[in-house]
Structures are given as C-alpha cells and as structure tokens.
Amino acid sequence: MGEITTVAVDLAKRVFQVHGVDAAGNVVLRRQLRRSEVLPFFEKLSPVIVGMETCSGAHYWGRLLAGMGHEVRLVPPIYVKPFVQRQKNDAADAAAIYEAISRPSMRFVPVKTTDQQAAQAALRTRELLVRQRTMAVNALRGHLAEFGITAGVGLHNLPTLLERLDATTEAPDYARESLQLLIDQIEDCSDRIGKLDVVIARRCRADPDARRLMTIPGIGPLTASALLATVPDPARFKCGRHFAAWLGLVPRQHSTGGQARLGRISKMGDRTLRRLLVSGAVAVLLAARRRPGFSDSWLGRLLARKPLLLAAVALANKHARIVWALLAKGGVYREAAA
C-alpha cells in the first residue's frame, strides 16, 4: 500500500466519506469519518492534496486543513457531477471529487476568509429580509383587494394603501386584526433592512478597495460589498472580459461547424452579483437620459437601437470589466473625456 498523496472528502453534516489515493493513482483508502474524527485523521497525515466540493462548511474545513499544511482544492459541484459513475452515493461522490481535482484543466475556488464570509452573511440576510417584506406586501395587497382597496404598485405606494384601509368601512375588525400582523411584519423587516444597510455602508467606508469600487457609476455599498465578498483573487482572470464571462454577462454560445451562434446572456455566474450590476446599470441609464448630449454618447446610440434592459446588460458588462481593472491594477474610476 502506497503513501496517501491525495484525499477527496465528501462533506456532510455528521458522516464524511474519505477517498485516499497514492502517487501512482491507486486507491488506498475508503472509509467514513464522523465529524469529530476528521481533524485527528488529517493531523496524522503528512501534507497532502485535499479536494472538496464547495458546499456548506467547505470554506471552514478548507481553512482548518490549510492551517495544518495541506493543499486545499475546492471544486464547484457542477464540475464534479460529470465524474460520478452510475448511481450516486457518498463513496461515488468522493471518488468523483478525486477525478475532478486531478484534472490539469480544472478550475478551483479559493478558500474564503472569515471576513469575506461575514460580509456575505450580511448580504444574504438582507436578501432574505427583502424577500420576506415583499411576500408580506404582496399578501397585504391581495387581502385588501378583496375589500376593494387598491393602490399603485411599489413599496413607495404602501402608505397610500394603508391610508385607504383606515378610511374604508368595508374591512371588518376581525380582518383588520389579521392585516395589522402583516403591517407590523413589513415595518419590522424595513427596520432590520435599514440596520443592515448602515452596517454594510460603514464596512465599505472602512475598506479602501470598496471605496475605489464605489467611484464607478451604479456601484454603491451593496454592490461593492458583494463584489469583495464573492469575487476571488482578480489575478485569476486573464482580463476583464474573462471576469465578465465568469459573472454570466456575456452571450451564451451554441456554435458548431465554424458557425458562431450567440444567444442571451449565459447567467453562469453569481446571480446576486449579476442582479446588482444590472440594477445599477439601469439606474445609470435612467439618470443619463436626462443629461444634455446623451443621444450622441455611446449609451445614447445603444439605447436608440436596443431596449432598455438589453442596454443595461451591456453597460453592466462594461462595469464588470472596469471592476476587474480596479481590483487587479489599482486606481479609481475616471470618466472618459467627451
């Protein structure tokens, strides 16, 4: 039996599957480890390559194992799935992880720091609160419509909706008691979202990289914080076009036989980052349309030929390439001369 040089770990809540391979590629170890047995197992090994899928807890285990001197390689699950042979089980998943990390062309995910994961937790918590508030507002609108009480769409029209509820006699007291619970939930979610916005903005003001990113039009504290928490080392990307492709802001290809067929954007990257960049681009477009000379600019000519959202995606692609340039080369955004 040869010495173990590579270990693939299929992570789980309680029982982890370990797949050990020697330098010749022979499988020398297949076993299950309980959570309490993982660290003692790796402490006994000399430095090895450890492969894991990027799932819940992967970055935590990656930091621990890297601290022991092991080389940690995290692989996205979508890149592991093609290597699963026949039926799926823990042993087959661990073997597939080894096959994936052994490929010379495989792309790995850098292990996130605790600061990056803390920023990401704040952003995900805010997203959850926004979804809960939207659900409560939609439920309130639906219930009030049954009593003939309606108002314009959007959160800014909620006060008008509540004023009409107070002024009507259609809704009985029993319904008002139930609806007040939804109103309280909406106000509570709004307060919590406001507190998180303050925390995120304060963190961005203290981070020099975030301050530089916020010089780009359409990028505020939320987008800057999301970029720094999610984007790996910018040096991993050859150029800004590769970074925009990683975010899914490039056309999807379905080319064959030398014929290039391009469709809608690929949407292959992080959905939150893509949504924030496109939303910021829409805001920039709406503000720029009111400026004199807009029709002669690149954005004006693009908007004359294409719909608003399509032009916003093109602008988001441009902003993504600028983000890569600032992160990789330093400096701040400077608007091009007219």
Q: Count CB-CB contacts under 10 A for residue 170.
A: 11
Strands (E), 57-180: 71-75
pLDDT exceeds 60 at position 338: no
What the block records as the tokens of 318 is 């441009």
Q: What is the mean pLDDT of residues 294-307?
A: 90
The distance in angstroms from the start CA to the end CA of the chain is 70
Query: Where exactly are the structural domains of the chain?
Result: 4-101, 114-206, 209-329
Q: How confident is the model at residue 169 (pLDDT cuts 50, 70, 90)?
A: confident
How far apart CA 50 and CA 246 sit, in angstroms, is 25
- Candidates 246, 308, 238; CA nearest to 274 is 246
What the block records as the tokens of 193 is 């979202």
CB 137 within 8 A of CB 155: yes
pLDDT in tens, 3-41: 999 999 999 999 999 999 999 999 999 999 999 999 999
Contacts of 78 (CB under 8 A, 6+ apart): none
The vertex-250 CA angle with 280 and 108, nearest 5°, equals 100
φ, ψ of residue 90 in degrees (nearest 5): -60, -40
pLDDT in tens, 65-79: 999 999 999 999 999
- What integer pLDDT is reported at residue 297 of this predicted model? 87
CATH number of 4-101: 3.30.420.40
pLDDT in tens, 226-279: 999 998 888 889 999 999 999 999 999 888 888 888 888 888 888 999 999 999
CB 245 within 8 A of CB 266: yes
Does the pTM exceed 0.85?
yes
Question: Could you tell me where the DSSP H helices lie in the chain?
Answer: 38-43, 58-67, 77-80, 90-101, 114-145, 158-167, 173-206, 208-213, 221-230, 240-246, 271-288, 298-305, 308-329
Are β-strands 49-53 and 71-75 bridged in parallel, bridged antiparallel, or unpaired? parallel
Q: How confident is the model at residue 294 (pLDDT cuts 50, 70, 90)?
A: confident
User: What is the pLDDT of the chain when averaged over all its residues?
Assistant: 92
Strands (E), 184-293: 251-253, 262-265
Side-chain-side CA neighbours of 275 within 13 Å: the count stands at 6
- What integer pLDDT is reported at residue 100 of this predicted model? 96
The vertex-65 CA angle with 59 and 69, nearest 5°, equals 135
Q: How confident is the model at residue 337 (pLDDT cuts 50, 70, 90)?
A: low
Q: Is 108 helix (H, G, I), strand (E, B) or coil?
A: coil
- What integer pLDDT is reported at residue 236 of this predicted model? 87
- What integer pLDDT is reported at residue 235 of this predicted model? 85
pLDDT exceeds 70 at position 47: yes
pLDDT in tens, 74-109: 999 999 999 998 888 999 999 999 999 999 999 999
CB 53 within 8 A of CB 77: yes
